[in-house]
Amino acid sequence: MPEGNIIHRVARVHGRWLAGRRFMADSPQGRFTEGARALSGRVLQRVEAHGKHLFYGFEGGVRWHVHLGLFGNIRHFRSGAPVPSEACRLRLSSPHATLHLSGPQACELLTPEDEATLRERLGEDPLRPDASVERARELLCRGRQPLAQALLDQERLSGVGNILRAEGLFLARLPPLMPAGALDEEGFARLWEVLRRLLADASRDGHIVTPGAPPVPEGVPGRKRAERFCVYGRAGLPCPRCGAKVRRQELAARGLFFCAGCQGVDAVLRPRRVKKPAKRQGRLLDPAGGVTMGE
């Protein structure tokens, strides 16, 4: 599933390249025929990203929402677009730009109220300029759920996926299995800034490169050499920071990658309990060793 950096990059490209054009729309697959009819002949006015969601605004107040999910795909063509595949949910076409959308998790028209309700359910997005850091901390830092699991909850933070989770926790030096509610203000600030920086860089460059990550070895299948991670996908390899072996374990049916050597696993520093002075026969035992008279 594309993480927030890819979705923001798509929104930026579509805003620059497609906004201001009038499109004809149809649904070759036949599953979005009514929606395509409502979009056809209208000018695209705006494109926004919020986490993993895309919001398109067409003239006349028509709003289109897309969530690619695991299997969604958007293809773009400047001219001479090919015949769409049987899986094409929506085709937007104009003389100079054509878009084919296939396999999305969500492809729907929304009323203004529906869009507002959906956005309210989403967590704060570190890439959005209007993101509330205070609300983000309040949503993320609650409960006993492991921090690594809470980070993938799009109603807590929006746009973070499995790669950014692993690399963000590593750079912030946070134990992945610590309770989310145990994350203090300093730790959250560190994590928020790391995620914001990773998302911004990846949105600009089109791929994730974690600072300090080793180069991808030759011949690694399924990996682009432009992508470089410190812990994600590197189980059994040495941590680039401390040399301990990177570990992988299942957490809520997702692979979690981390370095136990420099992150820990679930180590949470808790303040020591201070024992209250004990009462004895009307006297108080002074913690410093003396004895004082009780009241």
Q: Are residues 227 and 206 in the same domain?
A: yes
Q: Other CB atoms closer than 10 Å to residue 5's CB: what's the count?
A: 26
Q: Are residues 98 and 63 in the same domain?
A: yes
- Indicate the helix (H) or strand (E) that contains 200: helix 185-205
Q: What is the pLDDT of residue 292?
A: 31
Longest pairwise C-alpha distance within the chain: 95
Cα 258 to its chain centre, rounded Å, is 17
Q: Are residues 115 and 220 in the same domain?
A: no
**Strand partners for 98:** 77, 93
Q: Which of 254, 279, 280, 283 is catalytic?
A: 254
Q: What is the CATH number of the domain that holds 231?
A: 1.10.8.50
Q: What is the pLDDT of residue 276?
A: 55
Q: Answer for the pair 48, 70: CB distance below 8 angstroms, yes or no.
A: no
- Indicate the helix (H) or strand (E) that contains 115: helix 112-121
Q: What is the pLDDT of residue 226?
A: 82
Q: Which of 52, 89, 91, 234 is catalytic?
A: 52
Q: What is the pLDDT of residue 117?
A: 97
User: pLDDT under 50 in the chain at which residues?
Assistant: 267-272, 274, 279-295
Q: Which of 2, 104, 126, 240 is catalytic?
A: 2
Cα 83 to Cα 30, 80, 87, 148, 201, distances in angstroms = 15, 9, 11, 43, 35
Q: Are residues 222 and 116 in the same domain?
A: no
Q: Are residues 138 and 259 in the same domain?
A: yes
Helix (H, G, I), strand (E, B) or coil at 183: coil
Q: Are residues 111 and 206 in the same domain?
A: no
Structural domain tally of the chain?
A: 2
Q: Are residues 113 and 141 in the same domain?
A: no
Q: What is the pLDDT of residue 282?
A: 41
For 293, residues 6+ apart whose C-beta sits below 8 A from its C-beta are 282, 283, 284
Q: Which of 3, 124, 167, 227 is catalytic?
A: 3
Structure token digits, residue 265: 């696993």
Query: Which runs of E-coded beta strand occur in the chain?
Result: 22-26, 42-50, 53-58, 62-67, 73-77, 88-93, 98-102, 106-110, 247-251, 254-258, 279-280, 283-285, 291-293
Q: Other CB atoms closer than 10 Å to residue 91's CB: what's the count?
A: 23
52 an active-site residue?
yes
Q: What is the pLDDT of residue 275?
A: 52
254 an active-site residue?
yes
Express each pLDDT in 152-179 by its tens digit: 999 999 999 999 999 999 999 999 999 9
Q: Are residues 29 and 108 in the same domain?
A: yes
> Which residue do the tokens 């374990």 mark?
249
Interior/surface letters 179-218, b for 16+ CB within 10 angstroms, e for the rest: bbeebeeebbebbbebbbebbeebbeeeebebeebeebee
Q: Are residues 52 and 113 in the same domain?
A: yes
Q: What is the pLDDT of residue 51?
A: 97
Rounded Cα–Cα distance for residues 76 and 53 (Å)? 18
Query: Which runs of E-coded beta strand occur in 159-244?
Result: none
Residue 227's domain comprises 133-263
